[in-house]
Amino acid sequence: MLKFNFSRLIWTGLAYLGVVAISLGGSELMAQNPINGDSLVSASIGDATNFIPGLASDTASSAVAGHAYLGLVKYDQNLEIVPDLAESWEVSEDGLTFTFHLKPGLTWADGTPFSSADCVFTWKLMSDPDTPTAYGEPFQQIAKAEALDDLTFQVTYKRVMARALITWGSGILPKHLLEGQDLDSSPLARQTFGTGPFQLESWETAQRIILRANERYWEGRPYLDRLITKIIPDMATQMMELTTGALDEMSLEPDQWFEANENPQLKQQFNFFRYPAFSYTYLGFNLKDPRLADVRVRRAIALAIDKNELIEGVLLGFGLVANGPFKPDMWAYNPNVKPYPYEPQEAQKLLAEAGWVDTNRDGVLDKEGQNFVLTIMTNQGNRVREQTGLVIQARLKDVGIEVKLLTIEWAAFINDFLDKRNFEAVIMGWTVPLDPDLFDVWNSTKINPGELNFITYQNPEVDQLIDQGRFSLEREVRKASYDRLQEIFYQDVPYVFLFVPENLEVLSNRIVGPHVAPIGLGYNINRWYVPKDRQLYQQ
């Protein structure tokens, strides 16, 4: 059997899925006093689409919105919920009413005072069924929201909700700029006037996004003048830019990690960070496809894929086998649900039971005169997903399924294929939420265009279990619900959960302040700085 290994290098000495941060060449700078100035230049494989928080779910847009707009609360570096725009809050004894006390003196980036009226406006906008957001449902669980005064905001929920508090980690929207606006044509889709540490300076479509330090940020302006993101759809090109000094930061693919570690120049100029990702990669099915609607076919595909081969050959050991929507270190993870084993003979039996046999003796299964040809799509620029597709293509060929691989530019992939349900199967990834509420991705009501259940999975028991988990504050109740959910996902195979990768990042060692914490890298970017003698870019 052909075994895949996309690099000749296997670094066996790495600690597996532990937080590893290798810092080279920059530690002597920590003693210097922070100073303003300079820019941080990074890259993205995809361009943004919309900067209004909640209206776009793509990574590039969310990254900008996350810098530009803040919530009332946030997760800190240790994954604890702490105040952000709010100074404090109280919760009623019945767990239904939250009263937030806002920090005084806050302003939007244009100088307009921030107040509780903005919070009420955000609730109204996000809970409006006509608002084109995939994240509105938690706001629809609120029975009443009101501004008790300019600095006091109160919400009352219809019923106890586990993620009620962290719902207010979403970016609060400016009432004075969005009220009465058509969101589809609002200038804020391409501009930002938020409360966050960085605001948009310019956006050259498909070229670059430049954020500038917000002088009005409540914690004090960031030390870095600008965050510059170059849109570079090809990872090899990104690596070339990194090597020539045109990038300060890059997320590496596994083979690039080894390449960078063998490059003396890069080891001298960059710090290396390796830490667990809050994400998983999966093979998702369009369940409206008659072939894939048969659970025997989906189970067969799961049995035909060697996940360990993906870990070794594609990730080069930088990851774990996935068998559900939660990471193994999460409390909601069910250790009793095991991954589908690699059993190609059992896969062939299931396919035969479903009526797929090789009547033509040409190596491809057929049924009622139709060959089993499956098109798997993924986004351009992500070599890990492209290589994953090659491995899956070879394994499915072994059991008689011909796979065609198609890579699509990111925006077109989302807008023309996923949103329109115009696909057969996809290789994608999801961020794992810190609260294990699965509603937005898995609930039966979230199958409409633009929403996140684009595989159109519908299961009444899953809907009921999601509700049990999200509308309880009892850990035992939630745990039982999520354990059963994972059992159903194993039986139904709406996805083939493939792997949980690690983040592999390099960052110029002229940048002082980066630190890997339980929440990851970048949580304190507003405190990063470059000493004067290392600065490269002028204001």
Q: Yes or no: say if 346 and 354 are a contact pair by the CB < 8 Å rule.
A: no
Distance CA 475, CA 482 (A): 10
CA atoms within 13 Å, Cβ hemisphere of 286: 18
Query: Which range among 19-23, 151-155, 443-447 shows the weakest confidence by mean pLDDT?
Result: 19-23
Query: Would you say how long the chain is, in residues?
Result: 539
Pairing of strands 366-367, 319-321: unpaired
Confidence band of 29 (pLDDT split at 50, 70, 90):
very low
Same domain, 135 and 208: no
126 found inside a domain? yes
- Write down the pLDDT at residue 15: 29
Same domain, 124 and 210: no
Rounded to the nearest 5°, which phi and psi values hold at 444? -65, -20
Domain holding 354, by residue range, is: 279-501
- Write down the pLDDT at residue 183: 85
371 found inside a domain? yes
Confidence check: pLDDT of 538 > 60: yes
Q: Which two tokens stand for residue 102?
A: 């806002």
39 found inside a domain? yes
Confidence check: pLDDT of 270 > 50: yes
- Write down the pLDDT at residue 56: 75
Residues whose CB falls within 8 Å of the CB of residue 309, separated by 6 or more in sequence, listed in order: 3, 4, 342, 391, 395
The angle at the Cα of 519, spanning 35 to 497, to the nearest 5 degrees, equals 140
- Write down the pLDDT at residue 2: 44
54 found inside a domain? no
- Write down the pLDDT at residue 240: 96
9 found inside a domain? no
397 or 433: which leads in pLDDT:
397
Confidence check: pLDDT of 8 > 80: no
* Amino acid occupying residue 176: H
In this structure, which long-range contacts are made by residues 28-33, counting pairs with CB atoms below 8 Å and at least 24 apart in sequence? 29/509, 29/510, 29/512, 29/531, 29/534, 30/512, 32/512, 32/531
Confidence check: pLDDT of 201 > 90: yes
Helix (H) or strand (E) holding 198: strand 198-204
Distance CA 507, CA 512 (A): 10
Distance CA 530, CA 225 (A): 10
Q: Across residues 303-316, what is the average pLDDT?
A: 97
482 found inside a domain? yes
Q: Which two tokens stand for residue 396?
A: 């499915």
- Write down the pLDDT at residue 539: 67
Residues whose CB falls within 8 Å of the CB of residue 116, separated by 6 or more in sequence, listed in order: 100, 102, 147, 148, 149, 150, 151, 152, 153
Which single residue is written with the structure tokens 């009332």?
Answer: 72
- Give the rounded percent of residues in the chain with a pLDDT score beyond 70: 94
Q: Which pLDDT tens digit goes with each residue over 215-247?
A: 999 999 999 999 999 999 999 999 999 999 999
Same domain, 433 and 368: yes
Domain CATH code at residue 120: 3.90.76.10
Same domain, 127 and 171: yes
Q: Which pLDDT tens digit goes with each residue over 246-264?
A: 999 999 999 999 999 999 9
Confidence band of 184 (pLDDT split at 50, 70, 90):
confident
322 found inside a domain? yes
Decide: helix, strand or coil at residue 469: helix
Q: Cβ–Cβ contacts within 10 Å for residue 377, how many?
A: 22
Q: Cβ–Cβ contacts within 10 Å for residue 440, how many?
A: 18
Q: Yes or no: say if 135 and 440 are a contact pair by the CB < 8 Å rule.
A: yes
Q: Which two tokens stand for residue 366?
A: 């057929």
- Give the rounded percent of residues in the chain with a pLDDT score beyond 90: 85
Torsion sign over Cα 41, 46, 47, 53: negative
Confidence check: pLDDT of 17 > 50: no
Q: Among 386, 367, 240, 364, which Cα is nearest to 296's?
A: 367
Confidence band of 185 (pLDDT split at 50, 70, 90):
confident
Confidence band of 358 (pLDDT split at 50, 70, 90):
very high
Same domain, 346 and 249: no
- Write down the pLDDT at residue 329: 87
Distance CA 262, CA 177 (A): 51
Same domain, 289 and 271: no
Q: Yes or no: say if 229 and 68 are a contact pair by the CB < 8 Å rule.
A: no
Domain CATH code at residue 466: 3.10.105.10
What is the number of structural domains in the chain? 3
Q: Among 170, 489, 159, 160, which Cα is nearest to 326's?
A: 489
Confidence check: pLDDT of 138 > 90: yes
Domain CATH code at residue 223: 3.40.190.10
Helix (H) or strand (E) holding 210: strand 208-213
Decide: helix, strand or coil at residue 188: helix
114 found inside a domain? yes
Same domain, 485 and 351: yes
Q: Which pLDDT tens digit goes with each residue over 37-86?
A: 999 999 999 899 999 998 877 888 999 999 999 999 999 999 999 999 99
Distance CA 30, CA 527 (A): 12
Q: Which two tokens stand for residue 507?
A: 């960052």
Rounded to the nearest 5°, which phi and psi values hold at 19? -80, 115
Rounded to the nearest 5°, which phi and psi values hold at 181? -85, 150
Torsion sign over Cα 208, 379, 432, 509: negative
Q: Which pLDDT tens digit goes with each residue over 427-438?
A: 999 988 889 999
Confidence check: pLDDT of 19 > 70: no
Give the residues across from 378 on adjacent strands.
407
Same domain, 239 and 311: no
Same domain, 140 and 33: no
Residues whose CB falls within 8 Å of the CB of residue 290, separated by 6 or more in sequence, listed in order: none
| Burial category of 8 from C-beta neighbours within 10 Å (exposed 0-12, middle 13-18, buried 19 and up) | exposed
Same domain, 330 and 413: yes
Q: Which pLDDT tens digit goes with each residue over 331-357?
A: 999 999 999 999 999 999 999 999 999
Same domain, 227 and 310: no
Q: Across residues 27-44, what is the average pLDDT?
A: 80
Same domain, 455 and 482: yes
Q: Which of 134, 166, 189 is the last residue of a domain?
A: 189
Mean pLDDT of the chain: 92
Distance CA 123, CA 168 (A): 10
Q: Yes or no: say if 367 and 329 are a contact pair by the CB < 8 Å rule.
A: no
Q: Which of 158, 189, 220 is the last residue of a domain?
A: 189
Confidence check: pLDDT of 165 > 90: yes
Distance CA 522, CA 196 (A): 14
Q: Which of 189, 220, 244 is the last residue of a domain?
A: 189
